[in-house]
Structure formats: C-alpha cells, structure tokens
Structure 1
Amino acid sequence: MANIVSRYSSTPPAATKALNVSFVVDTTGSMSPYIGDARANIEAISQNVLRTSPNSKFSLVEYKDYGDPFIAQTVVPLTSDSAALANGIQGLTASGGGDYPESLFSGVVEGVRTLQGTTGTSAVVILRDAPPHDPEPWSGLSNNSVQRILLGIDPVPSADALTASGIAARFAPTDDREQGPDVGASTSPGEVAPPVTSSARLTNEPATLPSTILYDVNAAGAGSDVVGSIVDATGGRSFGIGSPQEVTTSILEAVDDASEAPVAKLGIPSIVTAGSEAVIAGIDSSGQSPLQFEFDFESDGTVDATNEDGIGAVTFASPGQYTVTLTVRDPRGRTSVTSAVVAVSAVEDYPIDESPESPNGPEAPSFGSSGSSNGGFNFGF
C-alpha cells in the first residue's frame, strides 16, 4: 500500500493551492474492515497531500444512526497536522447501527460544518457501506437539502439543530428500527431539528456561499443510491469498492481529483469612475479548461456576463461601493466563487490635469486581486 501512496507524491508542490478535505466515515458495526484499511494509511495519505498542496487541511467526522450514542460528531477539527488526523482515526470504533440505512446526511453536513470559513477548494469524502435515510426524520435532511448545502445555495444548519443529545431525548434505542422514529410525533424546542427541506429547483439559483465537492467511497457499489445524484450535482466522483484493500486507492484518487477543481481569482481596477467602462478580470483563476466565467457586477444574483476568456466589462452609472462576484465553472460543473468590492468615484474626483503620467504616457490600469493568493497584477490595453 505504501507504493500506492508514493505514486501520488511526484506532483510538484503547488504552494498557493489550498485544499480542505473532511473525511466522513460510517462507523457502524459492518464498517470495521474498511476503517482498518483507512486507519493503516490515512497519515501517509495526508502527508502526501501536504507535499503537493502545503496549504491543505483535513478534518475527520464519524456518523452512526439514531438510537446509537450519537448521530454524527467531529473527531478531528480542521487541521494540517497529519499525526492528529491519524490519531483520530485510530480511535474510531465500528459499532451500532440497527437498520440498513444510516445517518449519512447528518455526517455530510457535519463535515461541511468543519470546512466553514476556509479558502480554496473544499471537499467531503465519504467512506460507507450503507445508504442514507432519505429524508432523515430526526433532522429533516434530504437529498435535496443536502445538495443545496453542498452547492452553497443554503447555509449549514446549526450544530444545535442536529445534536445527538436532542435526538436521544426523543428516540430511545429499540430492537426494531427499520421504520425509523415516529415522524408524526409532536416536538418541542431542543428535541428535534426543524426540517431543512425545500422544493425549490437547484437550477438557476445562485450560490451565495462556498460550494463543497462530494466524493463517495462506497462498499455497496458506486451510484447505487441517491448519494450518486448529489455527487454528480457537486462535480465529484463515486468509487464502488469490492474489498477493504481498495479504500486507500479510492481516497487518494478522490483527493487528487479535488486538487484539480477550479479556484476563482478576481482582478479589480484600482481606479474606476462612474460612466466609464471598467474591466473586471478573472484570468488568474485556475482549473481544468475550458473554464466558464460568470460575472455578477452588483452581486444581486443575476449573471451579467458569461464567457470563456475571463474578462468582464462593466460601466457603473453612479459613484458608490459595488460588490462584484465571479463564479468559475469547469467542464464537470465544479465551481469556485469569489467576490471583491469596487470603489466607483465621480469623474470630478480625478481631474485629467492632475492624473499621474509616466514619461512614456498614461500608466496602464492597476488591478488588485481577490481569491486564494495575495497581490495584484497590471493589465494593459
């Protein structure tokens, strides 16, 4: 297995690439052999990723099912310490689980929660052998609502809404849990999370939050249930594995794939005047070509310009502060979103006779850059 890990370590370091990965593991009783393979190799996997992407971080989440001591919990918060990640997975115990489906959706949402506030590419990698409850009666999480959270359309539900203590207070363990808890039972605050469902279509809805790619390492077969549709919606990949020995290879391929996701960077002119055309640039963005650039010049949810050259031209009619949002989309539908504020001044704020000029004529407009790296660039016309 060491040879498999080392095969992925030859890529030159990408010092500015930030990759944030949450490993979400089903720790019910049947998962013991699969956890064992991950336990033996997770430190080598994380060290390999840190060699190729030094700014990367990892978290570890485990989930079980209702009636177990907990539903989903963070074992290792987001960290760049591969030893801490290894220690966390060493402590995982495969136990519990009553019926066949598990609380996978709660695990995924907990994984996304650990990635909040990060920059760069975010991914959740599931390791499992059973389908999810869809929906989860105790949390309201469903295929649709989890898609919306991963795509950045809806916010992550609060941790309090999905705590095991609230669930355990209402749902005691039983011998027969196939039908799940009594969905029709009355609820009171603190006992069960409110539904996190929506019938709204995902298409044509702008992402207002960072998106997360979902990868599925599934011993029950790739794409064998509703999780496959969520994976496809986020631009991830499914890995159907037939033995525990395939766990490490699949995780490596998932992380390697996530490292190629797009990263949006936005160049803003340092001087913009009302009534004059300003050029907004996304040309420093990265990802698999051809990339599609979507510019929202007022961050009102309306895409004002779409192209593949990464240049957007806009004329602001009035002085003020405008937030410009750039969404970069790769051929698989994976997206990266970044925003920057454009300060638009009145024309009289910059009299022509006081404008600085170089000995060779007017200076090229200067741009500042937003995204995962600092600094700016000059773009001449």
Structure 2
Amino acid sequence: MQLEDVVEVLKYLIEGLNKTDLVSAYTQLGALLQQASQIAPSARQQVVPLNNQVVQLRENLVRVQNSLEPPEDWGPARRRVFVQVEAQGLVGRDAAAALDKVLQQQTLDPATAAQGVQQIAAQIGQLKQRCAIALAAIGNHVVRSPKDDPSRANVTITFRREASINTLQDLYRQARTWDHIAAVFCELTRAPIESPQLRDVNSGSLIVDIGVLIGATAGIATIVEKIFAVREKSLQMRKLALEIRKFERVDVSHANAVEEAADKELGTAIAGMAEKLLDENGWLRGSTERNELENRVAQCLRDIQQFTHDGGRIRFRFPPPPVDADAQRQALAKNVAESQRNIEQTMMRVDNLFGELERLRQLPPKNDTAP
C-alpha cells in the first residue's frame, strides 16, 4: 500500500462527506422515524406529510450514496484502503442498500428503524473524524523526496501491525513521542532540532524518518543497541525463571527472585545509560540543567524500550559521507553502521528468545526425581 493511495482515499472520503453532510441527513431521518414511532400504528399511514418527508429523505440519501461510490478508475490498492478505513457499507452503493434494509423495519417498528439509522449516522461521523485525523497526521509529517545530506542520518521507525486507519491515527501519538526523543537527543548533543516525517506506508508498516545530525543519530543508535542487549539479558533471565517453574519439586520463590531481578535489570540499566550519556556529552554533574535533562533522557529511553517491547523496529541509515569528510563524521557514520548491525543481530536473538519462551510455556511441568 503506497502513501499516495491512502491520501487519495482519505481526501475522497472527507470531501464527499463534507459536501453531502450525510451525518445530518441520517440524523434527520432518524428523528423523523423516532417521531413516527410515537404515533399509533393505525394512524401512521394517515400522517401524509411525515411519510412524505421520510420517503424524500430516503430517496435523497440513496442518490447521494450512489454518487459517492468509489471511482471506477480506482485500482485494487485504493479499493483495499477503502475497505481498511471501514468505509465499506457506510459510503457508496453498499451503504444505500444497507439503508434500505434498515428502513424495511419502518412499517413494523419505526423505533427500531430509527435506532438503526441513528447508529449509521454515528458510524459515518466516526469515519469522518478518523479520516480527518489520519490525513492531518500525514500532512504534518509527510516528506516526499528527502535530499541526502552527508551531515545527516535517518532513523526509520517501523510499526509491525497491519497498516490501517487506526495505525495512521496512532501516528499522532508515536510522532509526538519521537518528536520528543529527537528533540531531547539533539539537545543532548547540542544539535539543531528536527521533527519526524512520515515517508511511506508500505508492506503493512508505517515508516517514519527522523532526519537529524549524524551525531544525535549515533547517540540514539548506541542507546537502542544497548536497550536491545539489556532486553536480551532480561529475557534470558525470564527463560531461566520459567525453566525453574517447570520443576515440580523446586521452590517457586527461586523463580520469583529471578523474575524480580529481570524486572530491575532494565530499570537500573536505563538509569545508568542516561547518566553516562550526560557525562559523555559534557554536561556538568550537579547542575539543575543537567538533572532536568537527565530525567528527560531517561524517559526517552523508557519510551524507546516500550516501543521495541511492543514489536516496533528501528533502522538507522545515512548517506555515504563524501570522500573529503572530516574524520569525526566518518567515525560517526561507521559507529551508526556498526550499531545497526549489532541491533539486527540482537533483534534476531530476542525474537528467538520470545519463541523459546512461548514453547516453554506450552510444555507440561517436569517431574524432578533427582535425590
């Protein structure tokens, strides 16, 4: 799924819903049906003006919905996006058919029909809101053709969940988080601050580029490498605790102690990383400025850890430095590349550990018959 397809579908839906004001029309129809439900069944057919209003609104809605059917020249990709944003059945010919199905209950039970129409109105309103939020998120963070700059590197943030309207909405939250992370690391390394930008939606993942000076990127890469290393150690400890629990004759307090140590390992490591980062970047100990920054750095590390824990993946890359680049830039670029290799290797081991833990959980307890 390409970003252009997502944007095109979102724009089409927002423009169509704004132009036709379907929510108001469905709400009005629901109110008329609710009004009809208050009239005695024997007298309903005699209320001609009300019946005419219902018929006219229904005809207008069917006509409008048919006009909102996706264009014939839309390819399979855009039609998949249309389905993924949950517009199927709310916009287009299918929606017109769904309305007729609801209105079939009008004669027997107008109150039920009114409830069904009002529910559709609410769903269309939610669809409109979701599309607006997603399009705004894309508009605020999209970059089409970023120019390679040998002084800058990029951090690509990949969400492993299937790309959908909901993950596009999640971009708001994730972009704010990575805005903050990028800003803090730029402040840490005394580099200009830049915001993340959404590059593409591809292969079921959102890809966000954070273009920052290579010094700040090298710092983030080193930290991510260390976080994955600590996570690997923590998972190994949890694997040990699980293996201990599988022995029936072993006191479970031993396993509990190992799990507690695994929990503390990450928190202790993050605090130590934050302190070391401030030292390495020349922030004097004891100052209020340093203490405040250290707290923000530690929170960033926790955010990165949580992102990776939730299945997110991070890739660091940079354009090749020019031949005449200074030694420091060459060294930083080399460090980023080395960190990326280490991260990928550790990620593979972490994924394998997750698999082993899941396998161990499925095994029955071992009968420890040792004397």
- Fold match, TM over 0.5? no
TM-score tier after normalising by the smaller chain length: under 0.3
Bigger helix share? 2
Larger radius of gyration: 2
Q: TM-score, normalised by structure 2?
A: 0.25
